[in-house]
Structure 1
């Protein structure tokens, strides 16, 4: 099992959340794993005090990022057909 060693403590490192961990390598995940991830993120946002409208805004931003990523990768004909 890979071991990750981080320099400093989280409160000392302002980019702590953006650092990769041993488990952040891209892997093929099934629908169940993605459902669990979504539920975990949702619960974490709720328990951190985010309102329903904040969570909807977060989900909307995630969809916008995915849409942008898909548009950048897709040939222009596919984009025109999808719209």
Structure 2
């Protein structure tokens, strides 16, 4: 899936992103975070990205 904004990596590796996500998830769960905590984190991250993308679109 193409992103509507620059990723910072011209040839980003989707597999690397999936591995990173899985690693972060496993580390959080191993550290004792509940599923709802991981979901809250994901929601916060998505909100930050959405805000940044919105800001980039308004500047164009």
Q: TM-score range by the shorter chain?
A: 0.7 to 0.9
TM-score by length of 1: 0.56
Corresponding pairs, count: 52
2:26 maps to which residue? 43
Q: Which has the higher contact order (CA 8 A, sep 6+)?
A: 2
- Unpaired runs of 5+ residues, structure 1, are 1-25, 77-83
Shift, 1:75, TM fit: 2.7
Computing the radius of gyration from Cα coordinates, the structure with the larger value is 1
Unaligned runs of 5+ in 2: 1-7
In the TM superposition, what whole-angstrom CA distance separates every residue of 1:27-64 from its partner, at most 9, and x where no partner exists? 44311000000001000100000001000000000100
Q: Does 1:62 align with 2:45?
A: yes
Aligned to 2:3: none
